[in-house]
């Protein structure tokens, strides 16, 4: 029988969301338009992996990312829209794959999340902006090879974040600060 989310689960998810926001603030200004997610994915992947490992069940990504989508929606509703779609894709696939108890499922969750976020974000930005063929988003999505390459690179960057997050999980377990069975 599943136990409902507890207060400490919500608090932990909130701290992982805060970590992702701080990571966006740190790397966002240094990345050119269309490449921000590639710069953010390794750092964001650490927090996403820690949250998946601690929360372990389906819906963990939604619990961390949807508050982030709401926060970023104050900047742009477009960001909220594509993050919600990204969470939907990730959680839908993970519904059939299983929960986040296994490392391989956390890796898959990271790759799915960052790849679909990159693809969805670029397509949505190009579709909504489409004011000029010189716009960087329009240039990227009109070149299929570049769009595919950036989506694959986003998945790789998410996998790097997963790897770093798993290293953090090991250290937290050794210190007795993470009570998960791996």
- Would you write out the chain's pLDDT as a tens digit for each of its 182 residues? 467 889 999 999 999 999 998 998 899 888 887 788 889 999 999 999 999 999 988 899 999 999 888 888 888 787 888 889 999 999 999 999 988 989 999 999 999 999 999 888 877 777 776 655 556 666 676 777 888 888 899 999 999 999 999 999 999 888 887 776 55
In whole angstroms, how far apart are CA 98 and each of 5, 66, 85, 106? 17, 20, 19, 10
Q: What is the C-alpha to C-alpha distance for residues 170 and 168, in angstroms, rounded to an integer?
A: 5
Answer yes or no: are the C-beta atoms of 136 and 34 closer than 8 Å. Answer: yes
**Residues 106, 166 contacting (CB under 8 angstroms):** yes
State the alpha helices, DSSP H only, in the chain.
Answer: 7-27, 36-55, 60-73, 77-97, 103-129, 136-141, 144-174
**Which of left, alpha, beta for 102 (phi over 0: left; psi -120 to 50: alpha)?**
beta
């Amino acid at each position: 029988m599943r136990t409902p989310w507890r207060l400490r689960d919500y608090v932990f998810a909130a701290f992982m969301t805060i970590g992702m926001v701080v990571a966006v603030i740190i790397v966002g200004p240094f990345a050119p338009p269309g490449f921000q997610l590639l710069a953010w994915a390794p750092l964001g992947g650490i927090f996403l992996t820690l949250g998946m490992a601690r929360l372990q069940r389906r819906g963990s990504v939604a619990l961390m990312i949807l508050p982030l989508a709401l926060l970023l929606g104050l900047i742009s509703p477009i960001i909220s829209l594509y993050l919600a779609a990204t969470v939907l894709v990730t959680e839908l696939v993970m519904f059939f794959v299983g929960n986040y108890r296994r490392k391989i499922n956390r890796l898959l969750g990271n790759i799915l999340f960052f790849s679909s976020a990159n693809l969805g974000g670029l397509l949505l930005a190009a579709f909504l902006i489409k004011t000029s063929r010189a716009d960087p988003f329009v240039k990227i999505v009109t070149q299929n090879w570049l769009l595919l390459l950036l989506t694959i690179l986003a998945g790789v960057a998410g996998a790097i974040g997963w790897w770093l997050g798993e290293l953090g999980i090991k250290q937290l377990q050794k210190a007795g600060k993470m009570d998960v069975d791996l």
